Structure 1
Amino acid sequence: MRDFIVDRNLKELTEHRTIVLPVACYVTTISENINGHIPLHWHDEFQFVVVLKGIANFQINEETILVQEGEGLFINSGRLHRAKDQKSTGCVYICLNVSPHFVVSHELYTTFVSPYIQATNLQYLHLDSRNSWANRILAAIAKVEQLISQRLPYYELDISMEITCIWMNLIKNGLQLEFKEKETIKDLRMKQMLNWIHQNYTEKILLEDIAQAGQLSRSECCRYFKRFLKKSPLNYVTEYRIQKSLILLQQSHLTVTDVAYQVGFNSTSYFIDKFRKSMNMTPLAYKKVRN
């Protein structure tokens, strides 16, 4: 299984880089992740995806999209996202993460990259191979993965040219950029509430606390979580605690009760019940598998 590490702000920390360039390209099987899915996270890099097998269910901020075999996805910098295998299809995809500062030269960044990061209507783009511009991007992503695997002389330069090609095709597809302050504030408030949970999940958490972190009323806080995560704030807290317990359960000196209290549960039996429903096994069974 591949461990997927994020910090308390949900920013991805997992190290995927395989070369000296600010580029990460790898093939991943969703079900082999430690969580059984790719949990909610964000990163500064642009992410490009090509699904090689099965169907991936991606959520980017509030929106959900199914990406079929042969299709792809562009996820913008800084957007919250996660991925699940749609109905256990054995989904495998190429993931290409690229630093925004690498796609064009410094002199061109302000004109050809920065506005696309700031655009509120560009959370993601579905890369459908029936569109010629998208098909060129999909082919270039596969080419980058091949170049990294082969590592022929000057392959770094070839990768740089492919990434420039990817970006040029993306921005030339005709999308009219929009900049709505309300949307920017909404994204910021959601990240503030998630950040507060991740800093305080080991303590007792009330709905009022989460709402206050986002400068919202309790009812509005619930609506935010329903829109972004399709669950209540407190259900998210429970799921996050279980996610954090996975790492602790791999430490042989910690008992299930130790782990339960360290991640914020005040009852071992409640932790076991919630863990079983989430992971389809007990914490003890998971601990035996991972140790």
Structure 2
Amino acid sequence: MGYVYEKVTYNKNIPAKILMQDKPGGRCNTTLHWHKEIEIVYMIHGCLHVKINGHESEIRDGEFYLCNSEEVHITRVDDMKANYTYLVILLSYTEMKRFAPDIDDSIFKVTHSDSSYQKIKRQILNLLGTLKSTDPYIFLVQDCYLRTIYHTLLSECKTSKGARAYSKTTVKITHAKQIIEYINQNYREKITLDDVAQEVGFSSQYLSKYFKNITGYSFIQYLLKVRLEHALKDMMNKNLSVTDAAYDNGFTNVKSFITTCKKAYGVTPRHYKKKDA
């Protein structure tokens, strides 16, 4: 079954994608997603909550989290209007597999108390210092810092998944991916918790608890979130009206679209579009 996942385009000349994020809290909340790349997020200003395979943690100023390849994750913040600044580094899966062919049977574990945590953090700070450089060959310096992160992960943080311990997690991830795919394919339609439960072979009651554990949202909250993001994108990219964007993306009425947008971003869809223009 072809699961929906986030496709990553790397920065030119380096084995990673580096993104500096500086935006209001409402735009830091992601939908449930996964990708092959190893993700490192370093918090510069604010507090970011992340759920990885259903396990929640948070990072504050000067801290980072690491999400392994194919782990299902979602992020959120508490203050929708406050500004948050953080750096996202997505390490190339292909490059990592070139160094470690057994990467699919391995995970990387990094905790605050590990010396490896501080080593990786130093390289993140080094990378931060290069982002405003006008040097056309700065990618050579960035490549050096990134490969030091690769080396630290491979030599100090890599461990076997373990057949028993990871089998339950693998099943959990598989179900989450099925749910992501089903919602992403059907959010424009009238779908219910019962529909999704039938798709993955769960009872509705169990799915409700499972979904809340994985995402931190109820099913309907998450479905509205997905519809909202698609509707706002259509307003921005296709210049759709509020009404057309609402109905084209599964909202039962325009009021529901406006209410959901206000809850997420504190403004109406029309004002959101003006602010982003």
- TM-score, structure 2 normalization: 0.83
3-state SS of paired residue (1:28) = strand
CA contact (8 A) 2:40 2:88 kept: yes
Q: Percent of aligned positions with the same letter in both sequences?
A: 24
* 1:104-131 deviations in Å (ceiling 9; x for gaps): 7x3x4224x3332xx5xx6x644x3x54
- Residue 142 of structure 1: aligned partner: 125
Task: Choose which of 239, 245, 270 in structure 2 pairs with 1:284.
Answer: 270
Q: Which structure 1 residue ranges, 5 or more long, are not aligned?
A: 1-7
3-state SS of paired residue (1:143) = helix
* 1:54-106 deviations in Å (ceiling 9; x for gaps): 322222221221112122221111222233345466332222111123247x3
> Structure 1 101/144 Cα, relative in aligned 2: closer, same or farther at 3 Å?
farther
Q: Name the Cα RMSD after superposition.
A: 2.9
AA aligned opposite 1:178: G
Rounded to whole Å, the distance in 1 between the matches of 2:217 and 2:225 is 10
Q: Does 1:9 align with 2:36?
A: no
3-state SS of paired residue (2:18) = strand
Task: Choose which of 82, 103, 110 in structure 1 pairs with 2:101.
Answer: 110
User: Mapping of 1:48-63 within 5 angstroms?
Assistant: 48-63=40-55
- Residue 38 of structure 2: aligned partner: 46
> Structure 1 151/215 Cα, relative in aligned 2: closer, same or farther at 3 Å?
farther
Q: Which structure 2 residue ranges, 5 or more long, are not aligned?
A: none
Rounded to whole Å, the distance in 2 between the matches of 1:189 and 1:155 is 42
* 1:246-267 deviations in Å (ceiling 9; x for gaps): 1122257522211111001222
CA contact (8 A) 1:58 1:82 kept: yes
Deviation at 1:49, TM superposition (A): 2.4
User: Mapping of 1:37-186 within 5 angstroms?
Assistant: 37-40=28-31, 41-87=33-79, 90-103=83-96, 106=98, 108-111=99-102, 113-116=103-106, 119=107, 125-126=110-111, 128=112, 131-147=114-130, 149-150=132-133, 156=139, 158-171=141-154, 172-173=156-157, 177-179=161-163, 180-186=166-172
- TM-score, structure 1 normalization: 0.79
Task: Choose which of 193, 216, 223 in structure 1 pairs with 2:209.
Answer: 223
> Structure 1 223/282 Cα, relative in aligned 2: closer, same or farther at 3 Å?
same
> Structure 1 21/290 Cα, relative in aligned 2: closer, same or farther at 3 Å?
closer
- The size of the alignment, in residue pairs, is 270
